[in-house]
A and B are shown apart, each in its own frame.
Chain A
Amino acid sequence: MLYVLKRLVALALVLLVSSFIVFSGMYLAPGSPEQFLVQGRTVSPEVLDAIRAQYGLDDPFLVRYWNWLIDVLHGDFGRSLLTQQDVSTLIESRLPTTLFLAAYAAILIVLLGVGLGILAATRSGAFEKVVVFGSNLGFAVPTFFAALVLMALFGANLGWFPVSGSGEGFADRVWHLTLPAIALAFPAIAVVARITRTAVREEQGSEHVVMAVARGVPKRIVLGRHTIRNSMLPVTTVIGTNIAGLLASAFVIEYAFTLDGIGSLLVNSVQKKDFAVVQAIALIMVLAFGLINLIVDLLYAVIDPRVRLAREVSA
């Protein structure tokens, strides 16, 4: 428990530093926000002053950071410079799509990646060769390219799936997000399948597995209880990294499929220099990334007693 607490404190500190970096980065950006707000129209200096006062642009940098940080801690990310919408509300409306997409892709990664890896490790021959070849090639396929190919094949040509929009209600969402989730998961499935296969193969030669075989433990049990179970230890880390990585690649996929998630919102906001939104999304992503990594570490401690106990002693 103490360990979890320590990690959460560390995460909070990292978030604090990140917020400072993100905020000062936006502050340093060339081109002043009020120029953006007036959109190139000529306005009187009085109006400009009014705008500066409204957004607190005349305050010293640290004061502005402090005010922003306090607001953020209250859940207030300010207003979009572009649409004048409340950023929190905006993100709240976009978040479900991204979470759904990421969860869908994560499930695909776990099921297909681990499943194919285990199958390839346990049966030699043509199937194994196909998986090995596929995983060698698969990790090299950029998500956006996979997205376009899927779109063209199953969307435009065959018409099985929609090529844009994220749908309403659960079933419709699944239908809309199937192609995006496959495209998003594709390279990660290849990586996980490859690591799984190697891990299982390595475990097959480990001392305790050979011992179990020598003790006459049935094949099925040796495979399930010893080989596969233990090979999942390194695989968990890889799955974790890949699922955390989904957050970042999700915005490419959302952009390709024009989904209304926070990823496409981020890309659009960057293109339009809507910094209030960019700051907010960046912080949320750092938080989510940190949380996923923490969860993976905890999960690892749960499935490997050596890790758990070592930490309890040290903590």
Chain B
Amino acid sequence: MTSRQITTEPPANTVGQDTVAVQAIRRQRLDGPVTGWRRLRLRLGTLGLVCVGILAVVVLTAVFAPYIAPYDPYVGSIVDRHLPPSLEHWFGTDQSGRDIFSRIVWGARTSLIGPTVVVLVAAVSASLLALTAVWFGGRVDAFIGRVLDVLFAFPNMLLAILAVAIFGPSLLTASIALAIGFTPYSARVIRSVALRERNLPYVSSAQLQGISGLVITGRHILPNVRTQIFTGMTINFGYAMIDLAALSFLGLGVQPPTPDWGLMVSNGQASLLQGYWEQSVFAGLAIVITVAALGYVGEQLGGRRAAGRTR
């Protein structure tokens, strides 16, 4: 017959135990909002912390470029062209005899400013469009939806190239055009989350109390789409960096002799094929490492999913 085992002592945690435990394995783990340093560190993991370190180094390099760069990034001597990496020139010199390390250090500035502009402009315009659409709804929503549809029709890079064709090549032109290209993607995400919040009863009751739409949107709806805005910014930054570098590579972004990573990859193309790999490779690696570190941090903070498997 049945043998039975009775636990006389009820455990401390009484409700929903297997649900919680299974969630710990199965569902998105650590997926709540990031609160506090400990939680942030836990979620980033070791590799995430390394990536944060890399990003910090890149930012500090950009800020303190004049103090870090050993040489003038604009001045070189023909005598010193194509020197291999050495103690004097860590990354060697380029076809004009300029110190590649110094140019990469200074290049961090242009390479970071562009994406920053893109990300800020895109975040502001996407939030404005999405929140306006959600608050007024109806025709305004429909109209903004159509505007976004048209923007969706243009690949981002095409939009940037057209802007450059019209206004001439410059970092600012390219950045703003890219920002416009990124806007519809962020706007859609923000709109859907904001709409959910907008439809909650407390919003209509606040409205009935005569609180203005601007105040409700700013005080209640905006804080709820914060995560989407920040996640969008993290993702966009990496893509913006790559796209802007590509534009500089095509000669449509940053103009020589300004030091810029994308431009340096491009400038090094001829040398690379002759065997002088330093300029293109170091500049390219700077882009890859920065974007990869940013992507990893963004992914860790955005929450990841763990897999459940059966035996």
Residues of A that sit less than 8 Å from B by CB: 10, 14-15, 17-18, 21-22, 25-26, 28-30, 136-137, 139-145, 148-149, 151-152, 155-156, 163, 187, 198, 201-202, 204-205, 210, 213, 244-245, 247-249, 251-252, 255-256, 266-267, 269-271, 273, 275, 278, 282, 285-286, 289-290
Between A and B, 16 residue pairs with Cβ closer than 8 Å are: A25-B165, A25-B166, A29-B166, A140-B288, A142-B246, A142-B262, A143-B246, A144-B246, A149-B284, A201-B305, A204-B308, A204-B309, A205-B308, A248-B156, A252-B250, A270-B161
Chain A residues whose CB sits within 8 angstroms of the CB of B295 once the complex forms: 136, 139-140
Question: Would you give the 0/1 interface string for B286-298, flagging 1 where the beta carbon is closer than 8 Å to chain A?
Answer: 0111111001100
Q: Given contact pairs A26-B165, A149-B284, A267-B251, enumerate 8 new A-B contacts (beta carbons under 8 Å).
A: A26-B166, A137-B288, A140-B292, A141-B284, A213-B310, A248-B157, A267-B250, A270-B252
Task: Give the number of residues in B that approach A within 8 Å (Cβ atoms).
Answer: 52
Q: Say yes or no: A275-B157 contact (C-beta < 8 A), given A151-B273, A252-B246.
A: no
Rounded to whole Å, the gap between the CB of B216 and the closest CB of chain A is 32
Bound together, the chains give a CA A187 to CA B163 distance in angstroms of: 25
Q: Which of B26, B155, B158, B280 contacts A148 (CB 8 A)?
A: B280
8 A-B pairs closest in CB distance: A248-B155, A140-B291, A205-B308, A140-B292, A145-B284, A248-B157, A201-B307, A270-B165
Bound together, the chains give a CA A205 to CA B26 distance in angstroms of: 8
Report the nearest A residue to B283, measured CB to CB.
A145
Report the nearest B residue to A139, measured CB to CB.
B295
Chain B residues whose CB sits within 8 angstroms of the CB of A18 once the complex forms: 150, 153-154
Q: Say yes or no: A273-B165 contact (C-beta < 8 A), given A18-B154, A267-B252, A285-B158.
A: yes
Rounded to whole Å, the gap between the CB of B240 and the closest CB of chain A is 12
Chain B residues whose CB sits within 8 angstroms of the CB of A285 once the complex forms: 154-155, 158
Q: Say yes or no: A14-B162 contact (C-beta < 8 A), given A202-B307, A245-B155, A267-B250.
A: no
A interface majority secondary structure: helix
Question: Would you give the 0/1 interface string for B259-289, flagging 1 where the beta carbon is closer than 8 Å to chain A?
Answer: 0001001101100111101001100100111
Residue B31 at the A interface, CB < 8 A?
no
Q: Say yes or no: A29-B309 contact (C-beta < 8 A), given A140-B288, A142-B287, A248-B157.
A: no
Let me know if B249 and A252 touch, CB within 8 A: yes
Chain B residues whose CB sits within 8 angstroms of the CB of A145 once the complex forms: 265, 280, 284, 287-288
Let me know if B167 and A14 touch, CB within 8 A: no
Report the nearest B residue to A293, measured CB to CB.
B152
Q: Say yes or no: A144-B149 contact (C-beta < 8 A), given A136-B292, A270-B164, A282-B158.
A: no
Q: Which of A17, A148, A266 contacts B265 (CB 8 A)?
A: A148
Report the nearest A residue to B265, measured CB to CB.
A145
Rounded to whole Å, the gap between the CB of B116 and the closest CB of chain A is 18
Chain B residues whose CB sits within 8 angstroms of the CB of A251 once the complex forms: 157, 161, 250
Chain B residues whose CB sits within 8 angstroms of the CB of A163 once the complex forms: 273
